[in-house]
Chain A
Amino acid sequence: MAQPPSSEARPLWRRLIGFNLLTAVILGVGGYYLGWFIGHQINGKSFEYQEKIDENDVALLLAYVFGVIGFLIGLGFANYPISRLLGKPASLREKEDHGIARYFGLCTDHKVVGIQYLCGIGLFFFIGGLNAMLIRTELLHDTPTFVGPGQYLTIVGMHGTMMMGIFTSAALGPFANYFVPIMIGARRMAFPRIESLTFWMLIAAGFILSSTIFFGGFPTGWTGYEPLNDQAVMGMDSYIVFFALVGISMCLLGINMMATIITMRAPGLTWSRLPIFIWAVFATAVLMVLAAPMLVATLSMSALDRTINTSFFIPGGGGSSYLYENLFWFFGHPEVYILALPGFGIVLELLPVFTRKPLWGYRLAISGMLGVSLLSFFVWQHHLFVSGINADLRPFYMLSTEIISLPTGFIFLCVMGTLWKGRASFTVPMLFCMAWTFNFLIGGLSGVFLSDTPSDTTTHGSFFVMAHFHYTIMGGLVFSFFAAIYYWVPKMLGLTFNEMLGKAHFWLMFIAFNSTFMPLFALGMAGMPRRVSSYAPELKGLNVWVSISAFVLGFSMLIFLYNVVYSLIFVRKRAEANPWRSKSMEWQVPTPVPIENFPPGPIPSFDFDPYDYGVPPSPGGGAQPAPAGA
Chain B
Amino acid sequence: MSSEAPPAGAPEPDHLRRFVSIWLVATIIALPLVIFVLGPNLPPGHGSDVASGQVTDNTVLTAMATPVLLLVVIYMIYATINFRQAKGGMLEGQAVRGDARLQTSWIIITGALVLSLAVYGTIRLEQGYGAGSGSGPKPLTVPSGKKLPVQVIAQQWAFTYRYPTYGGVETTHLELPVNEDIELHVTSLDVIHSFWAYQLGVKADANPGVDNVTFVKPTRIQTFEVHCAELCGLWHGAMYDHGKVVSDADFETWIHEEQRNFAATTKVLPPYALTYAPEPTERGH
Contact = CB atoms under 8 A, between A and B. Distances in A.
Nearest to B139: A391
Contacts of B234: 149-150, 153, 219
B271 to A, nearest CB: 19
Interface string B119-157: 001101110101111111101100000000000000000
Contacts of A359: 97
Contact of B231 (A53, A153, A315, A437): A153
A388 B231 contact: no
B235 A149 contact: yes
Contacts of B69: 441-442, 445
Nearest to A325: B192
A432 to B, nearest CB: 13
A602 interface: no
A388 B98 contact: no
Interface in A350-389: 355-364, 384-389
B72 interface: yes
A55 B283 contact: yes
Contacts of A409: 106, 110
B10 interface: yes
A421 interface: yes
A230 interface: yes
Interface in A615-630: 615-630
A416 interface: yes
Contacts of B64: 448
A442 B110 CA distance: 17
A232 to B, nearest CB: 8
Contact of A406 (B11, B107, B194): B107
B228 interface: yes
B61 A449 contact: yes
A229 to B, nearest CB: 9
Contacts of B284: 53, 55, 233
A537 to B, nearest CB: 11
Nearest to A424: B84
Contacts of A405: 110, 114
B147 to A, nearest CB: 18
Contacts, number: 390
Contacts of B91: 356, 423
Contact of A461 (B4, B20, B44, B230): B230
Contacts of A630: 67-68, 71, 106, 109-110, 113
B96 interface: yes
Given A144-B237, A230-B281, A462-B229, A362 B202 contact: no
A613 B93 CA distance: 7
B102 interface: yes
B6 interface: yes
What bracket does the count of chain A residues touching chain B fall in?
A: 35 or more
A3 interface: no
A357 B96 contact: yes
B118 A398 contact: yes
Interface string A270-305: 000000000000000000000000000000000000
Max chain B C-beta neighbours (<10 A), residue from A388, A424, A531, A624? A388
A388 B207 contact: yes
B53 interface: yes
A51 to B, nearest CB: 12
A419 B192 contact: no
A532 interface: yes
Contacts of B235: 149
A386 B205 contact: yes
A445 B4 CA distance: 32
A613 B90 CA distance: 12
A421 B15 contact: yes
B136 A364 contact: no
A531 B96 contact: no
A456 B202 CA distance: 11
B148 to A, nearest CB: 20
Interface string B55-87: 001100100110111011101100110011100
A531 B234 CA distance: 10
A434 interface: yes
A225 interface: yes
A578 interface: no
Contacts of B6: 617, 619, 622-623
B25 interface: no
A392 interface: yes
A406 B203 CA distance: 29
Contacts of B140: 391-392
A452 interface: yes
A148 B4 CA distance: 64
A136 interface: no
B228 A50 contact: no
B94 interface: yes
B172 to A, nearest CB: 19
Contact of B95 (A153, A384, A613, A628): A613
Contacts of A589: none
A434 B111 CA distance: 25
A315 B278 contact: yes
B134 A525 contact: no
B29 interface: no
B136 A390 contact: yes
B15 A526 contact: no
Interface stretch (A62-70, A100-108, A316-324, A558-566): A316-324
B231 to A, nearest CB: 5
B282 to A, nearest CB: 8
A394 B113 CA distance: 19
B125 A395 contact: yes
A403 interface: yes
A394 B98 contact: no
B75 A627 contact: yes
Contact of A225 (B15, B202, B230): B230
Contacts of A387: 134, 192, 205, 207, 212
A437 B76 contact: yes
A618 B12 CA distance: 11
A227 B281 contact: yes
Contacts of A448: 61, 64-65, 117
A26 to B, nearest CB: 33
A606 interface: no
A438 B134 contact: no
B76 A406 contact: no
A442 B109 CA distance: 20
Interface in B201-245: 201-205, 207-210, 212-213, 225, 227-238, 240
A614 B191 CA distance: 60
A457 B106 contact: no
A399 interface: yes
A540 interface: no
B280 interface: yes
22 contacts: A150-B234, A227-B192, A227-B281, A231-B283, A315-B278, A358-B96, A359-B97, A388-B204, A388-B212, A395-B121, A402-B114, A402-B117, A420-B15, A454-B131, A458-B54, A458-B201, A525-B43, A529-B227, A533-B237, A534-B240, A624-B14, A624-B16
Q: Which 6 pairs of residues, A with B, have the shortest CB-CB distance? A: A532-B237, A461-B229, A357-B93, A614-B95, A388-B212, A622-B8
Given A53-B283, A402-B114, A460-B229, 14 more contacts: A50-B283, A315-B208, A405-B110, A419-B75, A421-B96, A422-B93, A448-B61, A454-B53, A527-B198, A529-B196, A534-B237, A534-B238, A617-B95, A625-B102
Interface of B: 1, 4-12, 14-16, 19-20, 23, 42-44, 50, 53-54, 57-58, 61, 64-65, 67-69, 71-73, 75-76, 79-80, 83-85, 89-99, 101-103, 105-107, 109-111, 113-115, 117-118, 121-122, 124-126, 128, 130-137, 139-140, 186, 190-192, 194, 196, 198, 201-205, 207-210, 212-213, 225, 227-238, 240, 277-281, 283-285
